[in-house]
Amino acid sequence: MSKSRHVPVMLRQCLDMLAPALAEPGAVVVDCTLGLGGHSEALLTRFPEARLVALDRDKEALRLSGERLAPFGERATLVHAVYDELPAVLGRLGLPRVQGVLFDLGVSSMQLDEAERGFAYAQDAPLDMRMDQTTGVSAAEVLNTYPAGELVRILRAYGEEKQAKRIVSAIVREREKEPFSTSARLVELIRDALPQAAKRTGGNPAKRTFQALRIEVNGELAVLERAIPAAVKALAVGGRIAVLSYHSLEDRLVKQVFAAGAATTAPPGLPVVPEHHQPRLKLLTRGAELPSEEEVAENRRAAPARLRGAERIREDAE
């Protein structure tokens, strides 16, 4: 496993966004999506007096990043957990408040690059897609057992796939002949099911279906809905959160949580807004920051990335 192939997305922007909160000795930063440890390694290097807590649901990612971060010794604490478990993890570590939180959402390079994980539509592999292979249902089980209506909902909601009904009709027809087990058969089916016009735009026609299956298998949006508010709550005043999203569903969810935190909760028309109705967050980006053209040219996986950040400016109202 070469760590050189793993290029952290928008690394400088993430570090710059978190920097003001991590300057003090003893600051704690949480990398909620450790992956191969590129962002974590950079955080520990740039902020030599900071302590890192890093989470990942993928045991293989934890093993590999553990080797990478070993030189930092006790400054790095790696935890096998899904990121919505953040409050419980911090509770066990005796860290009620932290100074920085980073999310790099989506699939890690390792999961995409290892064919047998079944995330990539460009190579044939078992249809697994579980980020934690010790638990949960695989993508093959979803395809073979979910009712047609539920599959249509998943493809529309999570893949924003306009041709969901066509694709699901073909899936249901084919699974009755033989259950799905590999990605190549699914890719071929999607190609055959789509009208010519739909195949001419937006890259590989299987992309949206694979995204939808991955989100369903790993409960990604449900987990994110719990995780972002929990991470905001864990921030000390002056603490900062940075979130990298890779599709509009994730980005919309992050935007909504941040916007709600940055808004006053007072009824309209009050001449003076009481302290407990004041915003809890200050937004650090106008809209979402995008990767530079240079970065996208060097690392095509950065192309869809959207970065948003916020600073905690007030405690929650009691």
Annotated binding site: 37-39, 56, 83, 104, 111
Give the C-alpha separation, 203 to 259, whole Å.
Answer: 32
The residues near 106 (Cβ < 8 Å, ≥ 6 apart) are 244, 245, 246, 247, 250
φ/ψ of 103, rounded to 5, equals: -120, 130
Quickly count: other Cβ atoms within 10 Å of residue 46's Cβ. 15
SS3 call for 241? strand
CB 7 within 8 A of CB 14: no
For residues 210-221, one letter each, b for 16 or more C-beta atoms within 10 angstroms of the residue's C-beta and e for the rest, the string is bbbbbbbbbebe
Give the C-alpha separation, 58 to 103, whole Å.
Answer: 15
Give the C-alpha separation, 272 to 117, whole Å.
Answer: 56
Q: Sort 137 into a burial class: Cβ within 10 Å, 0-12 / 13-18 / 19+.
A: middle
For residues 4-34, one letter each, b for 16 or more C-beta atoms within 10 angstroms of the residue's C-beta and e for the rest, the string is eebebbbbebbbebbeebbeeeebbbbbbbb
CA torsion angle 94 100 101 104 (round to 10): -140
| Binding-site annotation, residues for S-adenosyl-L-methionine | 37-39, 56, 83, 104, 111
